[in-house]
């Protein structure tokens, strides 16, 4: 028998707010986290905006000694994990570390450390490269830092599946608990890719918005005038538990995880197939795993990157899966507010969904101004909407044709 799994803690570090209260207020007011890049001079880049985490002080979450061992992406994840544990009310002194695991990944890893140490190598030679370099850039070090800090000795894994990383991490952690390999898991993703080299690479792909004269409206998922995504940074980590374990400690339960579907497009490295085949199958697998009729889903947290192809293809896939019911579903893209956190995106989006369950408010898709005939669903334009939701689908798709879809249920 598969065990029931619930979400009991939320942690996020984002361009629009960190911690549950600030993040929720940002969501319902449609706060925009996009501005001109400040991490470096973007003047020579075709895209010059990003959603940066501007108020993050890592020393609020760790001491100076630990800080020296982490790249920025790991700092974000460590902080998000700490916030999730605090939100959960977990008594860490009484936790059985053998039954507590960590699945936190990243799409890019330690970009800043790579660039900085390469410069040291070129200018000063190999003997001056930091001994901390390797442990700063390895993606698995995120989960390792969290594991070591809190003595979590259960399963540990750092998935690197591009923009679907966090959903794949959460879905995999869900399975671990379902099949009794652990009772608790911290799961999600983190990214800090707003550095010169990866930013230039995405510019070269022409994947990012070039709306440099209108930064606040640059991230516009599903809008006809969208011209690419806006890069964000940050982390989303959630605590998930086996239901009876959560009940025994009197935990607050945000939602229940009930379905997970994962597929590959097997089509192209950066473009989805026009028929949305891989996304369609992942959505259907998640619904089948949840054992629910499609009509029960009334809200979809969209991948919604604001790239011309992805938004169109996601719309096609939603119509294929839900048929006529697709037009009765609220579909919102929170990347419109905090940009695309790449490997951390769906971890933050999962928290937004949990808060929609708790408060009965669906976050909006901001900057939605010009309807696109090829994206013709209800995208909750510009203003949050009061609505009770009982089942929610969370979509996440990544470069390489990677699709991860999770279905959540209101806990009863």
218 shares its domain with 333: no
122 shares its domain with 18: yes
Note whether residue 154 is domain-resident.
yes
> In the chain, how many domains are there?
2
pLDDT, one tens digit per residue, over 334-382 is: 999 999 999 999 999 999 999 999 999 999 999 999 999 999 999 999 9
Single out the residue of 171, 175, 106 nearest to residue 145, CA to CA. 106
Note whether residue 364 is domain-resident.
yes
Domain endpoint, select from 248, 276, 305: 248
Single out the residue of 79, 55, 85 nearest to residue 67, CA to CA. 79
Segment 76-82 mean pLDDT: 98
Kindly list the catalytic residues: 163, 303, 340
**CA-based radius of gyration for the chain:** 20
pLDDT given at position 23:
98
192 shares its domain with 73: yes
Note whether residue 253 is domain-resident.
no
The CATH code of the domain that includes 152 is: 3.40.47.10
343 shares its domain with 229: no
165 shares its domain with 293: no
**What range defines the domain where residue 359 resides?**
259-409
330 shares its domain with 404: yes
* Res. 1: pLDDT tops 90: no
Residue 267 exposed, middle or buried by CB count within 10 Å (0-12, 13-18, 19+): middle
Answer yes or no: are the C-beta atoms of 379 and 220 closer than 8 Å. no
pLDDT, one tens digit per residue, over 134-153 is: 999 999 999 999 999 999 99
pLDDT class for 268, splitting at 50, 70, 90? very high
48 shares its domain with 148: yes
222 shares its domain with 292: no
105 shares its domain with 141: yes
Answer yes or no: are the C-beta atoms of 280 and 320 closer than 8 Å. yes
pLDDT, one tens digit per residue, over 230-250 is: 999 999 999 999 999 999 999
244 shares its domain with 380: no
* Res. 127: pLDDT tops 90: yes
Answer yes or no: are the C-beta atoms of 57 and 238 closer than 8 Å. no
- Return mean pLDDT, the chain: 97
Answer yes or no: are the C-beta atoms of 183 and 100 closer than 8 Å. yes
Q: Can you tell me the distance from the alpha carbon of 214 to that of 227, in angstroms, rounded to the nearest whole number?
A: 12
The tokens for 410 are 């209101």
Note whether residue 375 is domain-resident.
yes
* Contacting residues for 314 by C-beta, under 8 A, at least 6 apart: 276, 279, 302, 303, 304, 395, 397
CA distances from 257 to 6, 85, 398 (A): 6, 18, 21
Note whether residue 145 is domain-resident.
yes
pLDDT class for 201, splitting at 50, 70, 90? very high
Note whether residue 236 is domain-resident.
yes
Single out the residue of 223, 314, 331, 333 nearest to residue 272, CA to CA. 314
Domain endpoint, select from 248, 271, 289: 248
Note whether residue 45 is domain-resident.
yes
Note whether residue 356 is domain-resident.
yes
290 shares its domain with 328: yes
């Amino acid at each position: 028998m598969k065990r029931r799994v619930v979400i009991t803690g939320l942690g996020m570090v984002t361009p629009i707010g960190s911690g549950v209260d600030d993040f929720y207020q940002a969501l319902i007011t449609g706060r925009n986290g996009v501005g001109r890049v400040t991490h470096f001079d973007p003047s020579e880049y075709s895209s010059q905006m990003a959603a940066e985490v501007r108020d993050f002080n890592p020393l609020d979450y760790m001491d100076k000694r630990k800080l020296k061992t982490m790249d920025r992406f790991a700092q974000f994840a460590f902080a998000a994990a700490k916030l999730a544990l605090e939100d959960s009310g977990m008594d860490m002194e009484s936790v059985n570390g053998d039954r507590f695991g960590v699945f936190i990944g990243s799409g890019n890893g330690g970009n800043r450390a790579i660039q900085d140490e390469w410069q040291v190598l070129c200018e000063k030679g190999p003997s001056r490269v930091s001994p901390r370099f390797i442990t700063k850039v390895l993606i698995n070090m995120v989960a390792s830092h969290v594991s070591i800090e809190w003595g979590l000795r259960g399963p540990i894994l750092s998935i690197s599946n591009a923009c679907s990383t966090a959903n794949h991490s959460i879905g995999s952690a869900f399975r671990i608990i379902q099949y009794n390999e652990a009772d608790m898991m911290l799961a999600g993703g983190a990214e800090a890719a707003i550095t010169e080299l990866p930013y230039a690479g995405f510019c070269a792909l022409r994947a990012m918005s070039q709306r440099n004269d209108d930064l606040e409206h640059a991230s516009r998922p599903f809008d006809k005038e969208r011209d690419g995504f806006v890069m964000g940074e940050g982390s989303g980590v959630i605590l998930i538990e086996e239901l009876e374990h959560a009940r025994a400690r009197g935990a607050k339960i945000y939602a229940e995880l009930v379905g997970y579907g994962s597929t590959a497009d097997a089509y192209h490295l950066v473009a989805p197939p026009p028929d949305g085949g891989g996304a369609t199958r992942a959505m259907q697998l998640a619904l089948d795993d949840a054992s629910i009729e499609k009509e029960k889903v009334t809200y979809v947290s969209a991948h919604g990157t604001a790239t011309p192809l992805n938004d169109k293809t996601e719309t096609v896939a939603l119509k294929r899966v839900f048929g006529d019911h697709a037009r009765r579903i609220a579909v919102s893209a929170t990347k419109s507010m905090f940009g695309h956190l790449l490997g951390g995106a769906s971890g933050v989006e999962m928290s937004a969904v949990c808060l929609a369950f708790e408060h009965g408010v669906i976050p909006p898709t901001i900057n939605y101004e010009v309807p696109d005939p090829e994206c013709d669903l209800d995208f909750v334009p510009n203003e949050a909407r009061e609505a009770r939701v009982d089942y929610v689908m969370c979509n996440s798709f990544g470069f390489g044709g990677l699709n991860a879809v999770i279905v959540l249920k209101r806990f009863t």
